Structure 1
Amino acid sequence: MKIALFGATGGTGRAVIDLALKAGHQVTALARHADKLAPKVGLTVLQGDAMVSKDVVRTLADTDAVVVALGNSQNAFALLFGARRTTPRDICEAGTRNILAALGDGADRSVVVVSAFGVGATRNKLPFMFKLFYRLILREQIADKERQEALLRASNANYVVIQPVALTDKPASGKWTATPDGTLGGSEVSRHDLAAVILSELTVKTNTRQTISLSG
């Protein structure tokens, strides 16, 4: 499988690259800072930006599947207190809009998008303290995810949205809880387990146009 990856330099993107290459897939990764990704067999890194349509188009060329792991990895507290912004506040929305436009109507490529638990249909399933944290600290980031998911629902793309709970860099456990109704297991999940679920969804294509909640 040839996978187009957006959000490649983040923790989830790196986990997807490692697992995909180990499984024998090829990955074309778009990155604003291509030098952050070490050369690997099977990995093609393109210098560019998901905010730029032509960069998205060339990333998608000759690929079979798409992983969208866009997000803002800047410290949310620092942004609130005026830190210089290095990632656009609408990176998920604008990047996904460009990806959907490049795929075109009726595209049959599988698209897996990483969102966050507590967005959209799972909003009301968040514990009160998490709702408060989202509202006060992550308001900008969650609003971007909300708009991203709305774009997907309005499209006819063959997508799966995965909404993980708190992500960690712990080793893969090989165990997780993935549900379509927001039911959770643990309060955190490893990015490496998330990568395994992403690749599984790209391969089996069983949950088209659905949202999956992912926890430990």
Structure 2
Amino acid sequence: MKVVVFGATGKTGRTVALNLLAAGHEVTAFARDPAKFSKHTYEGLRILQGDALNPADVASAVAGQDAVVVSLGDSLNPVVLKLGARLGVKRNTPPNICEAGTANILAAMRTASVKRMICVTSYGVGETRDRLSRAFKVWFRVLQLGEQLADKDRQETLVKASDLDWTLVQPVGLTDGAATGRWVESTSGDRRKRTVSRVDLADFIKNVLEDGRYVRETVVLSQLTISERDFATQAA
């Protein structure tokens, strides 16, 4: 399968791209700064320089693909962004990168007749906005994630309004932990632990692309709690 990954220089996008590559797919990593993706070359990987806010760049990346993975966002810590703004530091990524970039991607997909999209957003937006626990709300407030979540909320609205074969993936807090293979996927908004590793997220996305599940559905991805993992180990 030929897959283009937008946001490939972020931790999540890079993990997804390399996971798909390891599974034997042809991957195009779309990035503003290709040097940030990897210093190594991989067979089957094409690194394409471009800006998600430039419709021509996006159209070039989407043409000829079988599927699109969207992992757009701002890689900088939101607290750093806030402090930088107060100090007059210019930000590199616009606050509406998810909404504006996705609008260009959707238009390019329609033009190129590419139907399949996996879009990574976040738990706590769209269908799960009202399911946030008090702890999650405090966590998001402390991290000052309001601007980013609002952008992802608008992104989800655009995706849902399209006629594409989309899947919205809402992971809980992402970590750099190892693969566990014990994630929990839910279309009803349920979640277990407040964190899940990026490697598990990448494995889940690969599986969904390969088996065609969850078309036009929103999936929450979390991880088994410690007690559930213990039970699963004993049952095995």
Q: Which residue is 1:77 aligned to? A: 79
Aligned-partner residue type, residue 78 of structure 2: A
Q: Tell me which of 147, 163, 167 is aligned to 2:170.
A: 163
Native 8 Å contact 1:134 1:142 kept in 2: no
CA distance in 1, matches of 2:139, 2:37: 32
Q: Does 1:86 align with 2:92?
A: yes
| 1:95 paired to 2:101 | yes
Q: Deviations over 1:88-118 (max 9, x none)?
A: 1111000100010011179453100000000
Q: 2:139 and 2:107 mapped to 1: Cα distance? A: 33
2:5 is aligned to 5
Paired AA for residue 148 in structure 1: Q
Say how many residue pairs are matched.
216
CA distance in 1, matches of 2:183, 2:13: 19
Q: Does 1:186 align with 2:193?
A: yes
**Structure 1 counterpart of 2:222:** 215
* Contiguous gaps of at least 5 residues in structure 2: 224-236
The one-character-per-residue Cα deviations of 1:158-190 (angstroms, maximum 9, x if unpaired) are: 100000000001111111000001111211101
Q: Deviations over 1:38-73 (max 9, x none)?
A: 321111011111110011011112110110000111
Deviation at 1:84, TM superposition (A): 2.9
Alignment of 1:1-216 (within 5 A): 1-38=1-38, 39-81=41-83, 82=85, 83-104=89-110, 107=113, 109-134=115-140, 137-216=144-223
CA contact (8 A) 1:68 1:111 kept: yes
Supply the AA of the counterpart residue of 2:27.
V
Q: Which moved more, 1:35-44 or 1:89-98?
A: 35-44
Counterpart CA distance in 2 for 1:121 and 1:36 is: 33
Give the residue type in structure 1 aligned to 2:151: D
2:101, 2:218 → 1: CA distance?
19
Relative to the length of structure 2, the TM-score reads 0.87
Per the normalisation by structure 1, the TM-score is: 0.95
For residue 195 of structure 1, report the CA deviation from its aligned partner.
0.4
- Residue 171 to residue 133, structure 1, CA distance change in 2 (3 Å): closer
Give the letter aligned to residue 99 of structure 1: I
- Name whichever of 123-132 and 49-58 sits farther off: 123-132
SS of the counterpart of 1:70?
A: coil
Amino acid at match of 1:187: R
Runs of 4+ with >6 A deviation: none
SS of 1:189's equivalent in the other structure is: strand
RMSD of aligned Cα (Å): 1.5
What's the % identity of the aligned pairs? 46
In 1, distance between residues paired with 2:112 and 2:32?
29
SS at match of 2:180: coil
Higher helix share: 2
Query: Runs of 5+ in structure 1 lacking a partner?
Result: none
Q: Is the 8 A contact 1:176 1:185 kept in 2?
A: no
* More displaced 10-residue stretch of structure 1: 71-80 or 140-149: 71-80
